[in-house]
Amino acid sequence: MAGDVVGTSQRDAQYAAIQEASARLMADSNAAASPGTEGGSVLRVAQLDSERLTIETYNQFRQQVRKAVQYLNVAGWELELDTVLGLLLFRHTVWNNHQTYGDRLQNIIYRSDARARALGKFKDVRFSNAVAPTTREKVLLCVASVLVPYIYGKLVKKSQDDGWGDLDPATWQRRAHDLLYQIETVVRVASLVNLIVFIREGKFRHVIDRLLGLRLVTFKSKVKKLSSFEFMDRQLWWRHVTEFLTFILPFVNFLPWLKRLFRTRTARTQVVNTTTCPVCMLNPIQIAAVTNCGHHFCYYCISSRVRQQAAACPVCSEPITSISRPQTRR
């Protein structure tokens, strides 16, 4: 009886420990249910992933529009088509729902920091309609993200077509051309600085978001993650790695390594031909000469090649340091 009581109490204690651990796991899963939050702030990777998803969505729509109008006479109107598509997508995403398609997939949404500060909710990273972006902020965001790139693209195209950059520096066209590229340089530098600050603070992934005070916050505090973005993150990571390698590999000189590898393999596998000159292919060799690496040539062929080009063996690329007459067997 005493043993049964002890066994029952142990089972009860184990069952209680299992229930407590299950409750902790449920609490942790509820706290981390939203893929956009960690430690009370929106994940940087969630914001960057949402931007990539938005760009891919726009490119898909853009590709379908280009296919639909490919048989129409729309040559030269590509910027206008892209701008109309950008306005339509902005109207049905940020204007109506305060978030893009990528933001919705990542469970994040735009919030007006000015309204949140006025309502005393500046430190709250959760969204509510009271802190939604104002009409003025959305109009400015649309102008900066859709209309300004269109105007800039038209001016650059006009400058390139008319050759403003080749005109006299005193003309207004040349000054406008230089001003356009100075503006582009300033925007790129500002974007780089903003990216560094964004990586450090985790807020405002774009310069225009920082200027307008539009911050990405959690849309729903508790939402189940219906799809896993691990594969997409891995694909994005490998894509950036391959782009970096594509950029850096042309600056690496692989020729010495390849020559060394080829020379090593040749020295191991190739049988030295002592009757045919590898340069002029004459058989038999006329006035035979042998290099320090052991290959036989016509003396005129190898000596003229050494004088005209780099002193390297044509067969194994070994640097030629000496040329001598082959030893004859007695």
1 pLDDT higher than 50: no
- Better-scored residue on pLDDT, 151 or 29: 151
Alpha-carbon distance values, 116 to 4, 106, 204, 213 (Å): 62, 22, 15, 10
Strand runs (DSSP E) across 124-203, as ranges? none
Angle ∠(83,84,86) on CA atoms, nearest 5: 60
Percent of the chain with pLDDT over 90: 18
Please state the pTM of the whole predicted model: 0.56
pLDDT of residue 137: 92
pLDDT of residue 279: 80
- Better-scored residue on pLDDT, 308 or 83: 83
Residue 226, class by beta-carbon neighbours within 10 Å (0-12 exposed, 13-18 middle, 19+ buried)?
A: exposed
Alpha-carbon distance values, 88 to 67, 68, 154, 269 (Å): 18, 16, 20, 67
268 pLDDT higher than 50: no
pLDDT of residue 148: 92
Give me the mean pLDDT over the 61-73 stretch: 86
Supply the DSSP symbol for 165.
Answer: G
298 within 8 A of 289, measured Cβ to Cβ: yes
Find the range with the poorest average confidence among 161-170, 268-277, 311-320. Answer: 268-277
